[in-house]
Amino acid sequence: MRVFLDFFLKTFAFLSSIFLFFFLILTIFSWINEENLILNQNLKFIEGDKDSKNTILKIKLKGPILLESSYQSEFNLIGIPSAIYVNELEKIFDNLIFDEIKGMVISIDSPGGTVSATYKFYNILEKLKKKYNLKIYFYSNEILTSGAYWTALAGDKIYTNYGTIIGSIGVRGPDWIYYNKPIAISNSIFDKSVETIDGIKKYRMIAGKSKDIYDSFRKPTDKEISALQEILDEVYLDFVNLVSKKRKIENDFIENEIGALIYNAKKAKKIFLIDDIKELKDVYKLMIRDLNLENYKILKLTNQKSLYENFIKTSYYLAGNSLEKDINIICKEIDNFHNIFLINNFYINKC
């Protein structure tokens, strides 16, 4: 038994050393090529004349819109695939040569995101349009709601597939759950509950009135509710004004008729939220026609991943249910921001 144990420990130590060695090599390689992790991009040829100086750039995005992954900021990783990280996109755009790019088709499926990320993404696209006289068309195949729709307003045109869900022109603040006089909290694997009526004493050291805002064990004051509602109303007004300006729709009609409901593509076209219902291939044809291009090439923007990133990503997907993992991580990301959201309830209800 002792001989077997010694052999097992030596074998385990040997295999662990090999794994650690290759992991360190990949890590060092990643650090040396730190800029290339995000900035070294591939422009993949899709169709057209390869020698043409008239480029149409295709960008495909999916997931909630966030400034950056909390994991990315600490470990320099790209983050999970099912999210749109605006800071990463900004670095990509900063390192693209736009001299030959005449138009961009952004294919996006997103329920929205945080206000800060959405606002920044919109402004990045607006600056690109003005600086390079760039034409941008947005296209959505499945979902274009809330913050994603705000972002799409930067486009010259908005097209969607027949089955796309559009709208949700509204703003959502963080939930505040108040437990009235709790006496017991159960957080076991099989039961999560709170019993109330006197009994639990809770102390928290703070300085500054309302510093403990969102505390689940005290009722919010009227002043706090009013202050938070004012923030939401300001963002909502900006959203409505932008929709009105870009889509040529009266504010009253947006607030009272469209509201924060979601619509199918037919209804969205009827109330002027989108320009038309098209297939993606037809959107390229429209852009080529609108730009009066006799020859062109369509390039797709793709990230060139490092060995380190591919190793992490592969390990991540081999570890289990990728969709469930993505949603869990996104929920943690959202919880970390404590932000005001321009996001459809799909992800919020999953959290």
Which CATH number belongs to the domain containing residue 85 in this structure?
Answer: 3.90.226.10
The reply to whether 345 falls in a domain is yes
Task: Answer yes or no: is pLDDT of 9 > 70.
Answer: no
- Count CB atoms within 10 A of the CB of residue 283: 21
CA pseudo-torsion sign 111, 116, 119, 122: negative
Q: Is the pLDDT of residue 224 over 90?
A: no
Number of domains present in the structure of the chain: 2
Q: Are 117 and 67 in contact (CB under 8 A)?
A: yes
Asked if residue 81 belongs to a domain, the reply is: yes
The DSSP string of 243-308 is: HHHHHT--HHHIIIIITT-EEEHHHHHHTTSSSEE--HHHHHHHHHHHTT-SS-EEEEEEE---HH
Q: Which of 14-23, 179-188, 214-223, 296-305 has the lowest mean pLDDT?
A: 14-23
Let me know whether 321 and 200 are in one domain: no
Residue showing tokens 């037919």: 266
Is the Cβ–Cβ distance between 80 and 327 less than 8 Å? no
pLDDT in tens, 21-60: 665 655 554 444 443 333 345 788 889 999 999 999 999 9
Domain co-membership, 90 together with 195: no
- Backbone phi, then psi, for 235, in 5-degree steps? -65, -40
Whether residues 126 and 238 fall in one domain: yes
> Residue 23 falls within a domain, yes or no?
no
Instruction: Mark whether 144 and 186 lie in a shared domain.
Output: no
What does the buried/exposed string (b/e) look like for 50-76 if buried means 16 or more CB atoms within 10 Å of the residue's CB? Answer: eebebbbbbbebebbbbbbbebbeeee
Q: Do 200 and 345 belong to one domain? A: no
pLDDT value of residue 73: 40
For residue range 155-169, what is the model confidence (pLDDT) as tens digits?
999 999 999 999 999
What was the pLDDT predicted at 334? Answer: 55
Q: How confident is the model at residue 247 (pLDDT cuts 50, 70, 90)?
A: very high
Same structural domain for residues 191 and 158?
A: no
Which of 219, 252, 284 is the endpoint of a domain? 219
Residue 100 lies in a domain: yes
**Whose structure tokens read 């999560």?**
192
Domain that holds residue 108: 29-170+223-350
Token representation of residue 225: 């509710």
Residue 21 inside a domain? The answer is no
* Residue-averaged pLDDT of the chain: 78
Q: Are residues 39 and 63 in the same domain?
A: yes
Domain match, 335 and 243 both = yes
Check whether residue 45 and residue 159 sit in a common domain: yes
Cα(346)–Cα(160) distance, integer angstroms? 19
Strand order in the sheet with 157-160: 41-48, 297-303, 55-62, 101-109, 135-140, 157-160, 276-277
* Residue 190 domain-assigned (yes or no): yes
* Number of residues in the chain: 351
Instruction: Say what the pLDDT of residue 83 is.
Output: 82
Which pLDDT band holds residue 308 (cuts at 50, 70, 90)? very low
User: In angstroms, rounded to a whole number, what is the distance separating the alpha carbons of residues 109 and 60?
Assistant: 9
pTM of the model: 0.75
Residues 211 and 230 placed together within one structural domain of the fold = no
